[in-house]
Amino acid sequence: MFTFSLTLVRHGETQYNRDKLLQGQGVDTPLSETGLQQGEAVGQYLKDIKFNNVYVSNLQRAIQTAEIILRNNTHCSGTEMVLEPLLRERGFGVAEGRPKEDLKNMANAAGQSCHDYTPPGGETLDQVKLRFKKFLKVLFKQMLDEHGQSGPHASAGASGAGDTANGPAAAASVIASVGSADDGLQGVSVHALVVSHGAYIRVAVKHLVEDLKSSLPAGVKMSQLFSPCPNTGISRFVFTLSQSESSPVLSAARCFFTNRKDHLENLTAAE
């Protein structure tokens, strides 16, 4: 058994976010001044977590956010950032660059809810989920190959993490350290960071919770789990893998929190 944590972060704000315009994949804008500040805030929040592997959407708003996170991190100065097209935002087709209100109007005209509607040339939610499933396959294999058999320290950490991530100690840690940057990391020695996008992360969390049956924090509301992720919002899952002959098998998954934005409180107050 091998256990590792996955921390998902949405990119910081862009001017398109502020103006409520859809970006998708075809509009590749940099972070706004607020987005840069949000990046610094999330970087400071996560600075003491030693991320072994970092995967980032290859759109510049995600790359910029990841660069800021790594620059703030006390352990990650030499960590290589993998640019991964599978982590790109959902494609919104003809709606890209247009106001979100236009998407709502298009959905209404088609007799569908905005969340379920796919504009012409855009990706369906199932297509986005398929991309995420492909990414998980790559992630699980790479994490197991690189860290699953790397000596006594890693295996001891992994086995200890298995106990922690899936037993009573995990529930206790969630209750004891609500709002802490290291929630869910007790006893886990290998950590992955993913920087991606709002619509993509929403699909990813839904897949991890509904399809992969991640166990959930006590008392959490489903509406909070699946709510839109704010800019630089943080979600965390812990996975336990076992090795089969062909590929890694997911033995257990646990969600510790989604869409956390504690690090933005001072920024909001300043505005």
| Cα 201 to Cα 87: distance, rounded to the nearest angstrom | 9
SS3 for the chain is CEEEEEEEEECCCEHHHHCCECCCCCCCCCECHHHHHHHHHHHHHCCCCCCCEEEECCCHHHHHHHHHHHHHCCCCCCCCEEECHHHCCCCEHHHCCCEHHHHHHHHHHCCCCCCCCCCCCECCHHHHHHHHHHHHHHHHHHHHHHHCCCCHHHHHHHHHHHHHHHCHHHHHHHHHCCCCCCCCCCCCCCEEEEEECHHHHHHHHHHHHHHCCCECCCCCCHHHHCCCCCCCCEEEEEEEEEECCCCEEEEEEEEEEEEECHHHHHHHHHC
89 in active site: yes
11 in active site: yes
Of residues 257, 265, 211, the one with CA closest to residue 234: 257
Of residues 179, 178, 174, the one with CA closest to residue 265: 179
Ramachandran sector of residue 156 (left: φ over 0; alpha: ψ -120 to 50; beta: rest) = alpha
Q: Find out whether 223 and 182 touch, Cβ atoms under 8 Å.
A: no
Of 84, 89, 96, 123, which residue is the catalytic one? 89
Any idea which residues carry the catalytic annotation? 11, 89
